[in-house]
Chain A
Amino acid sequence: GAVVSQHPSWVICKSGTSVKIECRSLDFQATTMFWYRQFPKQSLMLMATSNEGSKATYEQGVEKDKFLINHASLTLSTLTVTSAHPEDSSFYICSARDLQREVYTYNEQFFGPGTRLTVL
């Protein structure tokens, strides 16, 4: 149980275009999903916390107009990189927390497989 999928697994786009990444919890409901960015050989940098039915909470330094997050249901959150530029190239990973476990303050995150974005 507790499987999280991401789509696409990799994407190449031209500079100036927008890219949407989906994060789905397949067998559980998640009130909270996290979006991370990871550069090669570096740590996971939290970009934003996505809450179902409300606006996402962005970390300091992350442009909310550039990285649009929508958490429309308990199983789906999307990250849209708008007007992408080469510096946005990175590995984007989402994670989700199980609604049922959250009730008991069980904090475990379940990570998606990640999306490799390359902007030409």
Chain B
Amino acid sequence: GENVEQHPSTLSVQEGDSAVIKCTYSDSASNYFPWYKQELGKRPQLIIDIRSNVGEKKDQRIAVTLNKTAKHFSLHITETQPEDSAVYFCAADERSGGSYIPTFGRGTSLIVHP
């Protein structure tokens, strides 16, 4: 099965700085890599995703890069704001039978100091 490693577990930055969170995966057949933001006590919210046929995707201050050869993908947040503070999870979907089964990383607690 898939194994997803996520680093760092905690990331503290000053407002306006950039933040980078990295994930690696083990199953080369995985083809979908979403990133979720979860605020305390709330549901995870998809913030950006990338498929295996694309190397980079950007949405305003958020970008994701994927290196299929190395089996790693990263989340980049520029011009961080205090409201970006949350726990971020990466995930990888592997094909299993007729469905796609997600495996989540352990999460990164991002703290943006005003």
Contact = CB atoms under 8 A, between A and B. Distances in A.
A16 to B, nearest CB: 27
Q: Interface size bucket, B side? A: 20 to 34
B89 interface: yes
A44 B46 CA distance: 14
Contact of B34 (A49, A105, A108): A108
B107 A107 contact: no
Interface residues of A, number: 19
A109 B43 contact: no
Interface stretch (B58-66, B67-75, B78-86, B98-106): B98-106
B44 interface: yes
A109 B101 contact: no
B107 to A, nearest CB: 5
B79 to A, nearest CB: 26
B104 A109 contact: no
A108 B43 contact: no
A25 to B, nearest CB: 14
A46 interface: yes
26 contacts: A32-B99, A34-B102, A41-B87, A41-B109, A42-B107, A43-B104, A43-B105, A43-B106, A43-B107, A44-B44, A45-B104, A46-B101, A46-B103, A46-B104, A49-B101, A51-B99, A93-B43, A93-B44, A107-B34, A108-B49, A109-B34, A109-B46, A109-B102, A111-B43, A113-B42, A114-B43
